[in-house]
Structure 1
Amino acid sequence: MAKIALTHLGGPTTLIEVDGWRILTDPTFDAPGRRYTFGWGTSSRKVAGPAQPPDAVAPVDVVLLSHDQHADNLDDAGRALLARAGTVITTVPAARRLALGNVRGLADWESTTVAAPGRPPLRITATPGRHGPKFSRPITGKVNGFALHRAGEETAALWMSGDTVLYDGLREVARRIPVDVALLHLGGVRFGLTGPVRFTMTARHGTEFIRLLQPRVVVPVHYEGWTHFRDPESVARQTLSGSDIRWLTPGEPTEV
């Protein structure tokens, strides 16, 4: 399978370059320092800025937006970028809220194809995610991951998890989709108000899920840059070990 170039820009935001396509995940380009509210009394402060500004990333053919309701996945500068992207693929509720002509909302396991002259088409499938404990969706909202398939290939060239805990819906992804490169959101998000409850995977849960998914390469993202991450990178690097784990240097394109 042909290589994919990944540039981690900070947080969940990653530029994917594959077969001539420039695909951006969860765009976040605001400067650090601001505190953002996430609802129900929770908030977080951004402590690290993007490795590159939006203009350095352009042009963007496709944005894969796991969800729009939290600023650590879509901030003000990221929202401004959406209208300039070729196509934005996100959840059904986010598509309704964004109300842009270039947005496509996908339900779990629904697929869409992007095509352009001179490039092979890509099929994109939405996969389930749950951004917190059982019954948390009315509070945290809908989240999706996305799998990218080259034409005629059963194995996903890349799959991004989106913000999710380890639960049965994620285990179903491992059963249904063979994956080459996995972009895994970690961080073990917790808030003081909600005590020990986690809203994203810890490195320990990531390790358990990797054993189920068995991708060729795992790229951890979204584990730093905000005060609500409680599973530090130092712990994640010790927990996630092996030749299949690729830690990216922000701003540096890396072939995987």
Structure 2
Amino acid sequence: MGDRARPVILTHVGGPTVLIELGGWRLLTDPTFDPAGGHYAFGWGTSSDKVVGPALSSTELPDLDAVLLSHDHHGDNLDRAGRALLPAVPTVLTTRSGARRLALQGVRGLRAGERTVLRVADRAPLEVTATAARHGPPLSRPIAGAVVGFLLRCDGTTVWVTGDTVLHGALRRFARDLRVDVLVVHVGGVQFGLTGPVRYTLTGSRAMELVGLALPKVAVPVHYEGWSHFVDGPAGLAAAIADAPADVRDRVRRLPIGTPIKL
């Protein structure tokens, strides 16, 4: 971290679910708290099985200020137990279409590039900007649906959560122009037999390419374990990290599941 940057504490609950503590704010990404064993349909004949449960239950979380929900329509990003958590959270930030579907008090829908500021009396404001994400190949949005990432800025510290995305032009340009302390990057290389070789999220190697573009102080990969549709899972990520240039590899930190880590 730079001299002005505040510490960031991350607790990887499992899958895409991360508790982010920054400047007194407590934020939760993509709540997934169902136990292992469920089968989830994603639409258009695609589906996946949850094979690992969360490290923490939703009742073990501290009081939350906001949920950062990259998208609401896939069960590996918002499951039944995660959905039940939302009404108790003061603010839920998600896509415009997701906000309409959720229809909750406190939900705010954002398009890529739009920003909002969270304020409370006892801490620095938290600026949240929705970032571009594409959950599949070109022209896949009508099938995969809208997704956003989140760029967080608070008192000199910047955290970027990519959301589920592949590497595409807008993401490359954004990463090149960004100065970020902590990058939380969704990986897994999602693939379905029905759609052949098409990928719906970053593989390990593409994630390392993104890290090389953004050059964060710390890069934390998430959402690469616990589900059957992660074709490029822990082994693929480990191989990609090992093959990455030293300047990229040295920035990557894989977090233990369920343990708060100060970065």
TM-score clears 0.5 = yes
Counterpart check, 1:214 vs 2:221? no
Q: Which residue of 2 aligns with 1:203?
A: 204
Distance in 2 separating the partners of 1:246 and 1:57: 23
Give the paired residue count: 253
Q: Which residue of 2 aligns with 1:80?
A: 84
Asked whether the 8 Å contact 2:187–2:223 carries over to 1, the reply is yes
SS of the residue aligned with 1:38? strand
Asked whether the 8 Å contact 2:15–2:222 carries over to 1, the reply is yes
Q: Which residue of 2 aligns with 1:187?
A: 188
Counterpart check, 1:27 vs 2:31? yes
- Answer with 173-182 or 29-38: which moved more: 173-182
TM-score by length of 1: 0.96
Q: Which amino acid aligns with 2:49?
A: R
Q: Alpha-carbon deviation of 1:234? A: 2.0
Equivalent runs, 1:86-235 vs 2, <5 Å: 86-151=90-155, 153=156, 157-235=158-236
Q: Deviations over 1:171-204 (max 9, x none)?
A: 1221343211000000000001011100000011
Q: Which residue of 2 aligns with 1:247?
A: 254
Q: Alpha-carbon deviation of 1:18? A: 0.8
In the TM superposition, structure 1's runs of 4+ consecutive aligned residues that sit over 2 Å from their partners are: none
Distance in 2 separating the partners of 1:173 and 1:35: 35
Question: For the aligned residues, what is the CA RMSD?
Answer: 1.0
SS of the residue aligned with 1:188? strand
Q: Which amino acid aligns with 1:251?
A: G
SS of the residue aligned with 1:30? coil
Q: Alpha-carbon deviation of 1:208? A: 1.1
Q: Which amino acid aligns with 1:163?
A: D
Distance in 2 separating the partners of 1:130 and 1:103: 22
Percent same amino acid at aligned positions?
Answer: 53
SS of the residue aligned with 1:223? coil
Runs (5+) with no aligned partner, structure 2: 243-248
Q: Alpha-carbon deviation of 1:223? A: 0.2
Q: Which residue of 1 aligns with 2:8?
A: 4
Q: Deviations over 1:67-102 (max 9, x none)?
A: 001000000110111111121111111011100111
Q: Which residue of 2 aligns with 1:50?
A: 54
